[in-house]
Structure 1
Amino acid sequence: MVIAMPMSKGIPVILQRGEVFFGRVVTDGVPFEFTSTLLGKQLQPLPVWTIAIPYNIKKIQQRAFVRIDTMLPVKIAEIVDDKVIEDQIVTAVTKDISGGGAQIAVNRPWQIGTKLMVTVTYPEIGPITVKSEVVRVQQPQPDRMIFWVGVKYLGISEKDRSNIIKFIFRKQLEQRRKGL
């Protein structure tokens, strides 16, 4: 396969024949990552690489909101028939958050599509309660009753979303200053 020679800040990327590299391509607006090996290169008449057929091709999910890993306290109540079941509140912590949802580390799973009332308590902001929907459930360690439940926010005010995004940017700034 022949591709245009990759450039970084206007300078050709230099690899040696046989080196493995990771690439990214966008097809019909959908980004993909892949792994390949450089077989050869030429500068004339155009700078190109000859590469092995790509493998480990993965679609890249591009999120609408920046996501940051952070542990914040969460209270979760299930919504059944449009009623919040308040006598069965589950406490948990976030694994990560964004302006569009959160991933929560909790000791029980919910089915994908389940509606939840999720309250995350943010430092300096306080609690933000949002109707949410379960979109992903993972059990990272099959021998432990810990689940990562991904939720997307269904009914969030722009004020609350803005406060969450500001919190995320402050956290990113702190992490950069600490060199994390």
Structure 2
Amino acid sequence: MLNTGQVIGLSDSQGATWNLGVKHYLAGNRVLCELLGNDINPPDKDTGDLKLSVPHAAGVYVIATKIAGVSRDGHEYKLLLGKEYQLFQRRGYYRLSDPQLRIQCRIYGETVEDVTAIDISGGGAALVIRWDQLVKIKEDIPVGLDITLPEGGKIQAHGKTLRVGESKDGNGYHVGITFTKLDRADRAKLIKYIFDEQLLRNKESGLEL
């Protein structure tokens, strides 16, 4: 489930989140991780009710976790993984509505920057594309996507149009796209963003996963 070099998320019941990089497995169902970034409030051994979120092609695994040890410099963590876990979106990718992403599209050799994301998942996206070219956007045509995550991470994807309709204002198209080529690491980054955003929205609305 966990791979060396993989970026995973750690969160507590108060909504605090931290990004960790997996270094390697240890004996006793433990894993050694490195804290990514320079968080001024890193977790410590007394932080309770921790959950680990692990992006996966089928969704996100959530594992109850305890901190078994912290290095002197506070950069490395030994995590004790619970024996039970949950897989969210086992039957498909969770679609996040109104994602805060910047997206550029490449269609018919043209780069389009006026793109609004309606929703997105690990398998595709629904977009409103402002299009002033004479040639019409049709179903089953290739599309290139350059996606910028809120924290600045970049993802490149290739897809094809599945559903195409005129936008409500008549100045573009409402397009459903399925990803046909997406690097495994990029898909993991996208799924992690979607899961973290879903978790944040649930916290803000008083809901729990």
- Determine helix, strand or coil for the equivalent of 1:144: coil
Mapped pair 1:65 → 2:93: yes
Percent identity over the alignment? 26
Q: Deviations over 1:83-115 (max 9, x none)?
A: xx2xx2101121111000111111136210110
Distance 1:63 1:138, change over 3 A: farther
C-alpha separation in 2, matches of 1:178 and 1:138: 34
Residue 161 of structure 1 corresponds to which residue in structure 2? 187
TM-score normalized by structure 2?
0.49
- Determine helix, strand or coil for the equivalent of 1:77: strand
Shift of 1:124: 2.4
What 5-or-longer segments of structure 1 have no aligned partner? 1-61, 80-84
Residue 112 of structure 2 corresponds to which residue in structure 1? 90
Structure 1 residue runs of 4 or more that deviate by more than 3 Å after TM superposition = none
What 5-or-longer segments of structure 2 have no aligned partner? 1-89
Please say if residues 74 and 93 of structure 1, whose CA atoms lie closer than 8 Å, have aligned partners that are also in contact: yes
C-alpha separation in 2, matches of 1:71 and 1:152: 19
Mapped pair 1:173 → 2:199: yes
Q: Deviations over 1:58-105 (max 9, x none)?
A: xxxx962110011421111125xxxxx2xx210112111100011111
Please say if residues 71 and 93 of structure 1, whose CA atoms lie closer than 8 Å, have aligned partners that are also in contact: no
C-alpha separation in 2, matches of 1:138 and 1:164: 26
* Correspondence for 1:148 among 174, 194, 204: 174
C-alpha separation in 2, matches of 1:103 and 1:63: 19
C-alpha separation in 2, matches of 1:144 and 1:77: 20
Where does 1:12-31 land on structure 2 (aligned, <5 Å)? none
Number of residue equivalences: 111
Residue 75 of structure 1 corresponds to which residue in structure 2? 104
C-alpha separation in 1, matches of 2:142 and 2:91: 21
C-alpha separation in 1, matches of 2:180 and 2:166: 24
Residue 155 of structure 2 corresponds to which residue in structure 1? 128
TM-score normalized by structure 1?
0.56
Q: Deviations over 1:131-168 (max 9, x none)?
A: 11001113352x53242211111111111111111100
- Determine helix, strand or coil for the equivalent of 1:89: strand
